[in-house]
Chains A and B, each alone.
Chain A
Amino acid sequence: MSTQTTTAGHAATPAWKEWILTTDHKRIGVLYLIGSMAAFAVAGLMALIIRAEQMELGMQFVESGTEYNGYLYFHGAAMILAFLIPGLTGFAANYFLPLMIGARDVAFPRINAFSVWLFYFAIILALLSFVIPDAPDIMWTGYPPYSITTSANTSFYVFTVHMLGFSSILGAVNFLVTVIYMRAPGMGWNQLNIFVWTTIAAFVLQLIFIPVLAAAVTLLLFDKYLGTHFYDPSAGGDVLLYQNLFWFYSHPAVYVIFLPAVGILFDIIATMSKNRVFNYKAAVYAGIWGIVGISGIVWVHHLYISGMPDWIRLGHMVTTLLISIPVGILTLSLWGTLYKGAISYNTAMMYAASCLYLILLGGLTGIPLAIPSMTLHLSETSYVHAHFHFIMALFSAFALFGGIYYWFPKMTGRFADGPMATLSFWLNFIGVNVTFWPLFIIGKEGMPRRYWDYEMFKDAQVLGYSFEDFHKVATLGALLIALGMILQFINFIWAAKNGKPAPANPWNSKSLEWTHTASPPGPGNFGDIDVEVDENWSPYEYNNK
């Protein structure tokens, strides 16, 4: 699949050039996949160190609190900015969105390559924090005044955000133009895959909100290195300004991750249940665009304890609770798509089904956090930590892994399903529950998040057990996940070479990426004939005939 297909006028090009320097959307997608999985592996290792340190009272694994903060920084920043966002809007969107709409590539292939290289250099910059003497230690949030007064290298954090942000903004421009102008002739807006809708919704959010984050961290950079006073109250600045600007992006960023994950679930569940998407229009226009519409006015719930007038808290309580309505519509559509379907359970579907559980658990535990009176108690505890891991980290990561199993035959021509896949799924699924349930319980009792130790809770008892016991269980869960993920990666690499060969459309899907392309698709995706669809076509037309 590399170099043999050259025709007159094109000299044979070495395979490495056609990969490293590629401007093809599928190969760029694969580059995103490799980079995001590498980031996931390193950031996952950081999580293990964090859990190992918390397992017992006192300091065991890290040398100092600063070192522990460095791991927290890398874990959070890399998981969100280098694993989830690039995995979903980089890998999945790049590889499959053009195939789904019948396009031969994205509108601006070179800008697409530019985006992926910004992503890689941002990862390099983040990884440099392991070799420089003053690694950033400011979490992924970078709140001043600490981020300004710290002796650590805040500039690497700022530039990492800049590069990933610019990468996403250009991706947004690229994909919006692609979807508007390059759909196959005959393809109307109500015939798009839900994944296409969720991806462009995510990119609309990136386009509008990333600049605000970019501005916030740029002012941070100027305050630290040029001595400006944006976040310095003693000279007329406002330290809360940063938190407002930061969360004005970073709450919508949750939906940038959540939406494409939901889109992948819709495609898996409709295909594996051989069923139409339940309430397509409500899911798209009320669900997806409802989230986009409300996402910009909920950020203050991250600042409930930062001090503000009560009427602002109340207003944002209402909007924050309100956003559970579009999320609920999407969840109902997902369940409704299963209704009277002919469901086949394979690894992709098991991940999708587990996501239906994770979204329920993560979503419902979020409601108390939307309410200021309860947040005053729960904020900055490991309850919050467990909540956002369930709804954002685990839900989206499971959807992404489900998507990889679902599209694996398309990308490689082989199945990744098998006993090893099933085993790793169960290890992961049991592992995440064992890890995060204990954190809910001790979080409700006051266990702070981000601390490397909990000496002050030495004598506290919950349900007859000490905090330390709960931390031990959580660490055991983390080890289960680590084992599951290692098996999973071995399985992916093994299956790409030796897995059971798959036909071009193994799941009998109706979506264009399965019906009209080879596995894996060649240059130009669709052979010599352009794809056209008629007005009755739908990627989910399982019930019509």
Chain B
Amino acid sequence: MTSEADTAHVHEHHWEWSWAPLLVVAGTFFLVPIAFAFYFAYENVTLSAIFAGIGTVMLLAGVSMWVNEGLTQTPLLAGVANIGLPIFILSEIFIFLSLFSSYWMMRLSIDSWPPEGTPEIDKILPIIMTFILVGSSVTAHIAEEKLEHSDLSGFNKWWIITIVLGTAFLGCTLWEWDHLIQMDFIPETNAFSSAFYTITGFHASHVLVGIGAFIAVLIPALGGRTNKTFVTCVSVYWHFVDVVWFFVASQIYFW
């Protein structure tokens, strides 16, 4: 309903433009579909690596431009990203729901569970991982509080701790995967391995994106530039990734 009179006139007299969106899309295009197709469909590892490399560079360049523009330009209506992000998260909830319901369908219609070929999966590690991830949500929140009180160095410190915890979580996932693959539990093994790697992998990819977003906030913050809306959005996204983990852990490990 509101139209902020002060910011509304920013866009009036010239056409706005930006390199960032094009670079991010082009980078993603080379990094994911093209690199994937060369690796899996055409089995050409060299070309796959080259395209992934080009894509990564473009993606990083695009994201850094985007962050820079976000920190320097006045938006038409400030703060609405705090509304946009939860709407986006609604979409994310549905993608996780789809994966979980596929898993439930398989599990409930199969004769015996776990299916043949499933090794004993360690139940201590997911508990440790839960503590790490919940802890990182707490540290992210503390960092936000510090920023609220204009304590930028305190913010940076707690933000870095959050990144370390997030990375530790990702490390745990990778270690566990490596461990299980050595026990011949690979995506192909059976119905449970399919669901296990898909769902934990999909969650881990969200953790990875979250860490990327944390770093995108951190780099300008080290130079003294922050944006509260940006920080809040990244933090809310992280809490969402945290909450999803409860479903992943309870459905995959403890059922």
In angstroms, Cα B10 to Cα A109, docked, is: 13
Known A-B contacts A181-B80, A228-B198, A236-B110; A523 and B15 likewise in contact (beta carbons under 8 Å)? yes
Q: How far is the CB of B83 from chain A (nearest CB, A)?
A: 5
- CB interface residues, A 216-274, toward B, < 8 Å: 216, 218-219, 222, 225-230, 235-238, 241, 245
Check A238–B91 contact: CB distance below 8 A: no
How long is the Cα–Cα vector from A184 to B32 in the complex, in angstroms? 41
The distance from the CB of A103 to the nearest CB of chain B, in whole angstroms, is 8
State whether A229 touches B2 (Cβ < 8 A): no
- Across the interface, do B190 and A105 meet the contact criterion of CB distance under 8 Å? no
CB distance from B168 to the nearest CB of A (A): 26
**B residues less than 8 Å from A210 (CB atoms):** 91
The number of A-B residue pairs with CB atoms under 8 Å apart is 217
Tell me whether A212 and B14 are in contact in the complex, defined as CB-CB below 8 angstroms, given that A184-B3, A236-B106 are known contacts: no
| One of A14-22, A46-54, A474-482, A498-506 at the interface | A14-22
Interface of B is mostly: helix
**Measured between alpha carbons, how far is A181 from B78 in the docked complex, in Å?**
11
Enumerate chain B residues within 8 angstroms of A156, measured Cβ to Cβ.
33, 37
**B33 adjacent to A155 (CB under 8 Å):** yes
B18 and A230 contacting across the interface, CB-CB below 8 Å = no
In the complex the two chains form, is A110's CB within 8 Å of B37's CB? no
Is B183 interfacial (CB-CB < 8 Å)? no
Report whether over half of chain A's contact residues are helix, strand or loop; otherwise say mixed: helix
Residues of A within 8 A of B198 (CB): 218-219, 222, 228, 230
Within 8 Å CB of B193, what residues of A? 228
In the complex, chain B residues 62-99 whose Cβ is within 8 Å of any chain A Cβ: 66, 69-70, 76-77, 80-81, 83-84, 87-88, 90-92, 94-95, 97-99
A177 part of interface (Cβ distance < 8 Å): yes
A297 at the interface (CB under 8 A from B): no
Residues of A within 8 A of B83 (CB): 177, 180-181
CA of A118 to CA of B24, assembled, Å:
9
* CB-CB under 8 A for A5 and B76, given A21-B22, A211-B94, A226-B188: no
Contact assessment for B84 and A18 in the assembled complex, using a CB-CB cutoff below 8 Å: no
- Residues of chain B with a CB closer than 8 A to A134's CB: 41
Residues from chain A with Cβ under 8 Å of B208 in the complex: none
What is the CA–CA distance of A108 and B26 in the complex, to the nearest angstrom? 19
Whether A107 lies near B37 (C-beta < 8 A) is no
Cβ–Cβ < 8 Å partners of B99 in chain A: 215, 219
Determine the distance from Cα of A390 to Cα of B78 in the docked complex, in whole angstroms: 44
B contact set with A: CB distance below 8 Å: 1-3, 5, 8-9, 11-22, 24-26, 29, 32-33, 36-37, 40-41, 66, 69-70, 76-77, 80-81, 83-84, 87-88, 90-92, 94-95, 97-99, 102, 105-106, 109-110, 115, 186-188, 190-191, 193-195, 197-198
| 27 A–B contacts from the bound complex (CB under 8 Å) | A13-B17, A17-B17, A24-B11, A24-B16, A107-B77, A110-B66, A110-B70, A113-B21, A114-B21, A117-B26, A120-B25, A125-B29, A153-B37, A163-B29, A177-B87, A182-B76, A185-B1, A208-B91, A209-B94, A212-B94, A219-B99, A225-B41, A228-B187, A230-B195, A235-B194, A241-B102, A245-B98
